[in-house]
A and B are shown apart, each in its own frame.
Chain A
Amino acid sequence: MKTTSGQWPLWEVFLRSRNGLHHQHVGSVHAVDAEMAVANARDVYTRRGEGVSIWVVPSAAIVASDPGEKGELFEPALDKVYRHPTFYEIPDGVANI
């Protein structure tokens, strides 16, 4: 019995479910090249018409933020509630604002 030889590169798969919407991450596939990655993504992730467009990106090319730095990165936004429209009080009787 042969064991599996050589790891095929991993690709992240993004689908646009219909025009007008963003591509969204749906999972990943292994493939030797981009062409095969698109073909595999089609077979694995669009068997029921889930997409009209596929993006594949080498997983190694994705740069992710460090979850350990979640605090420093995202906390500055949390104390700026005045960025939300609900922060402001509009007197009763004022319309269309």
Chain B
Amino acid sequence: MYSQALDERDGVADEAVNAAFEQRVAAEEKVEANDRMPAAYRKTLIRQISQHAHSEIIGMQPEGNWITRAPSLRRKAILLAKVQDEAGHGLYLYAAAETLGVSREELVDQLLAGTAKYSSIFNYPTLTWADMGAIGWLVDGAAIMNQIPLCRCSYGPYARAMMRICKEESFHQRQGFEIMVTLSRGTEAQRAMAQDALNRWWWPSLMMFGPHDSESTHSDTSMRWKIKRFSNDELRQKFVDVTVPQADFLGLAVPDPDLRYDDATGHYVFGEPDWSEFKAVLRGEGPCNAQRLAHRRRAHDDGAWVREAAQAHAAKQQAEQVA
């Protein structure tokens, strides 16, 4: 990577450099790959961007599960394109993380070894076709809510990757909502399927915004560094406010007995997600954690011969050119 050679010196804790950095970031100046930056800023970004990349890669599985069973050729082509986009998003993000001086191999190995985190939402199973609708509508909807502010992130390569991703995510959400519209206008069984999907995905989607602000460990620094622009609770509220009217349109019930619109504030008041479930899934005890990682490892191992063959071919071509 063209940016790496210049980075050696910033392991040194140089207070003047850090102060200058804080000032630049506070003034909304973007940070680029080979700029000097505090080691903690670099570390935070590597962690966040790689977790994000892993989420995209693992996120291919719940939907990949339905490609062969999509109800029509149109739906199948769309789902295939969506899963392909997730792969692309993973690659944009790995590339952005690499500009910070970490290798792709290190990141992939962390995922395969189970030491890296990815979004907890992908550890839930996709039981029916309606889950393809609910994931697009709710999970991608929540992702967009989280990701749009990241397009203004202080770190240039991350912000640029997020801009590409956000443009593409909009298709993901709309195709999901279209599936929900079709099902909710269908037979009684189809409506029930749509409602069941909403029941199962609602709370995990709210958990995607992370713990309450009061419990969020990295929030303050990330806000100061302009990596994060809004707090977890602010974004969660925004998501509920835009999504509940969409559920009303579908004629589906949001599975929250405490949900009500508050005229005074203009916001919805909603119940508390089950945080013990959230923590359990993060600890690796979700319904599909083991399955997702096992599948990823198998795919990686099954592809080993292709990677080796490609490398051998390139080496042979190069040797012939030299000769």
Q: Which residues of A contact B (CB under 8 A)?
A: 1-8, 10, 12, 27-30, 32-33, 36, 43-44, 47-48, 59-60, 62-64, 66-68
Residues of B99-133 contacting chain A, CB below 8 A: 103-105, 108-109, 112
Question: Cβ of A28 and Cβ of B98 under 8 Å apart?
Answer: yes
Known contacts being A4-B109, A10-B1, A10-B98, is A32 close to B313, with CB within 8 Å? yes
**Contact bitstring B207-222, A, C-beta under 8 A = 1, else 0:** 0000000000000000
B interface bracket (residues with beta carbon within 8 Å of A): 35 or more
CA distance A66 to B318 in the complex (A): 32
CA distance A44 to B311 in the complex (A): 20
CA distance A8 to B1 in the complex (A): 12
**Contact bitstring B88-101, A, C-beta under 8 A = 1, else 0:** 10011001101000
| Nearest B residue to A50, CB-CB | B164
| Nearest A residue to B85, CB-CB | A47
Contact check: which of A2, A5, A43, A67 meets B34 at CB < 8 Å?
A: A67
CA distance A12 to B308 in the complex (A): 22
Query: Shortest Cβ distance from A59 into chain B, in angstroms?
Result: 5
Question: Cβ of B6 and Cβ of A47 under 8 Å apart?
Answer: no
Query: Shortest Cβ distance from A29 into chain B, in angstroms?
Result: 7
Is B36 in contact with chain A by the CB < 8 A criterion?
A: yes
Contact check: which of B108, B109, B314 meets A32 at CB < 8 Å?
A: B314
Question: Cβ of B36 and Cβ of A68 under 8 Å apart?
Answer: yes
Is B2 in contact with chain A by the CB < 8 A criterion?
A: yes
Question: Cβ of B92 and Cβ of A44 under 8 Å apart?
Answer: yes
**Contact bitstring B289-302, A, C-beta under 8 A = 1, else 0:** 00000000100110
Identify which of A4, A10, A30 gathers the most chain B CB atoms within 10 Å of its CB: A4
Known contacts being A3-B109, A3-B112, is A28 close to B297, with CB within 8 Å? no
Question: Cβ of B34 and Cβ of A64 under 8 Å apart?
Answer: yes
Is B317 in contact with chain A by the CB < 8 A criterion?
A: yes
Query: Shortest Cβ distance from A97 into chain B, in angstroms?
Result: 36
Residues of B232-249 contacting chain A, CB below 8 A: none
Is B285 in contact with chain A by the CB < 8 A criterion?
A: no
Is B304 in contact with chain A by the CB < 8 A criterion?
A: yes
**Contact bitstring B160-194, A, C-beta under 8 A = 1, else 0:** 11000000100000000000000000000000000
Known contacts being A2-B304, A3-B109, is A67 close to B36, with CB within 8 Å? yes
CA distance A33 to B118 in the complex (A): 31
Query: Shortest Cβ distance from A24 into chain B, in angstroms?
Result: 11
Question: Cβ of B2 and Cβ of A64 under 8 Å apart?
Answer: yes
Question: Cβ of B2 and Cβ of A4 under 8 Å apart?
Answer: no
Contact check: which of B6, B168, B301 meets A1 at CB < 8 Å?
A: B301
CA distance A29 to B91 in the complex (A): 8
Is B32 in contact with chain A by the CB < 8 A criterion?
A: yes
Query: Shortest Cβ distance from B158 into chain A, in angstroms?
Result: 12
Is B35 in contact with chain A by the CB < 8 A criterion?
A: yes
Given pairs A2-B300, A27-B161, A32-B310, 18 additional interface contacts (CB within 8 A): A4-B104, A4-B108, A4-B300, A5-B304, A5-B308, A10-B1, A10-B98, A12-B2, A27-B96, A28-B1, A29-B95, A36-B314, A43-B88, A44-B88, A47-B168, A64-B2, A64-B3, A67-B35
Question: Cβ of A1 and Cβ of B112 under 8 Å apart?
Answer: yes
Is B84 in contact with chain A by the CB < 8 A criterion?
A: yes
Contact check: which of B32, B36, B310 meets A36 at CB < 8 Å?
A: B310
CA distance A8 to B226 in the complex (A): 33
Query: Shortest Cβ distance from B28 into chain A, in angstroms?
Result: 18
CA distance A12 to B1 in the complex (A): 9
